[in-house]
Amino acid sequence: MAGKILKLTDADFDEKVKSEPLILVDFWAEWCGPCRVIAPVLEELAGEYSGRLTIGKVNVDENRQTAARFGIRSIPTLMFFRDGSRADQVIGSHPKSTLKTKIEQLINAH
C-alpha cells in the first residue's frame, strides 16, 4: 500500500513542514542510486503511518536553497521535523526496520 508523498520546494518548504505535526523529509536527487533504493520504502512507510506521519521529498538539484540551509552534504538524508523544528535525521539508505524504529521513537516521544 503506497502512501502519498508530499513534494517540497524552496518556495513552500517552511509552510508545508510547519503545517505537519510530524514529517520525515527525504533530501534526494534523480541520479542518486541509494535514493532510488529507499524511495519505495518511504512510500510503504507513508501508507503504514498515514495520519501519524507525513513524508515529503526535496529534490536537492531543484531546491538548492533548502538543501544548503540544512547543510545537506550527502544524500539521501532523511530529516524528521516535529511542529516545524528539526527533531532527528538519518543519513544514507537504511533498511525499513531501522526507519520504523526511528519513526516509532518519534511518534511515542510526543
Report the catalytic residues.
Answer: 32, 35
Contacts of 30 (CB under 8 A, 6+ apart): 59, 61
Q: Are strands 22-28 and 77-82 parallel, antiparallel or unpaired?
A: antiparallel
The DSSP output letter for 76 is S
